[in-house]
Structure 1
């Protein structure tokens, strides 16, 4: 299967999933039962590395060699007492070389000038270098929210718990203790000037697939250059009793030349979800800002 083309993989996987879970377990009110603890963990990069252009899936031997290099890079040049073991990087997703499945080259569409500017000024790398004030720092570092809307399987603390009722689905993420409470009752999304860090999410069932649409972001953060008017459509369904098929499509004409789609499996896990004590004992923020002010005083 690892030697199949990505097109073949995408065609076969949904059919196989449908055959395996044609009648998924259901809640007392009849919806597919997604309740429980789930983990989304992968070392597959978001974009296909340029050196792997044209190669959507690695052979087992190629995957092993790639993971050896990748895992070594994660912990390179770190103090032994500040190692990266907590990252738990995992393996590749189905041997794939990118989480992006569309465009077919596994790369983000070309950014617009506005998207490129956002990626430069609001991206993680830029935020880690800026220290004019706390607002300059990345949202995850400031304990405001994790990288959970939409899900990306390339972050730490990738355990989540799903709760369902007839009118809501709630997703509690271990990462930054993020909680998404998503209405299923058909209410319209928030509109106008009401914009939020996590946007406004509304869900519906299309057959046995949970579809979540999110828009209305506050523009204070970005995913690869996305803007406040980005719209994400997530699709979640049971592939089998212990696996969720997860995908999202990002549509943001102000930032990219076209939409792009990410897909990966989410596996059932053992709970509980632990508290992510982000601010407790966090001395980094005042020290970073104090150090930046000291550097400013030393400049001629």
Structure 2
């Protein structure tokens, strides 16, 4: 994301000087991630889905030919296969399409031609209500096509929830920009819940519910399930930060759990990186305990238990994606 970093330039310069030490720690970090989360082989269905998504994105203008490498590096089809291994092709397709859409918009591959806040309002309205495109941009066309596919899959009841999650994601982006505009980083207690919202993972979990056997579309998560989902999203955000720290600092993005710890605790970037690893593990084990307690509660239905298990499985699938996607720079 583009960032205004007035007041953080000097700190970023110091952190860039410490990147070699962080890079030396990366093999250890990746081993710890692989011990904490399940090892998953690259799904056999992934290459075919990647080709399908690339054609879809190209046809809609989401992926200009000159920027094809950006979407290819993100591997949205592989991500969909990792997080929904037993889902039918059309469900994995919905997850992959939403991922491709978020990647191309968030990475600036496509230019919307309107301010972000205005685009957010129109995108949320389009998801919720459908109708005429508010603007003929690739992202609006992509959202309209995705909406039609959700309805065709018999999951129209998800659209309001999907719009709500998109609104929360844009609010989290705006919160990040305010922090940067003020030239300072948030506290860790502010950063962690916001980080979970900046990822599109909660929306992917919703689209997964087009799969029979999970909570029916139109049935909103209970507070307990919502807490498990948000905790898992926060864990995935920390995975993203740990795998992305080298790229973040190289590209002048100071928002990362490692930098937040370094600033708050007044420690070096390598020391902060060390501290981020047990933080991730502890939050993951807390999410697992919450899911186990939820499934063991008296009167729990098979659909509710399956939903909780599907939610926490996202952390395993997305860890595998983080480690294998070319998008991430480990050196």
Higher helix share: 2
The two structures have a TM-score, normalised by structure 1, of 0.29
Question: Taking CA–CA contacts closer than 8 Å with sequence separation of 6 or more, which of the two structures ends up with the larger relative contact order?
Answer: 2
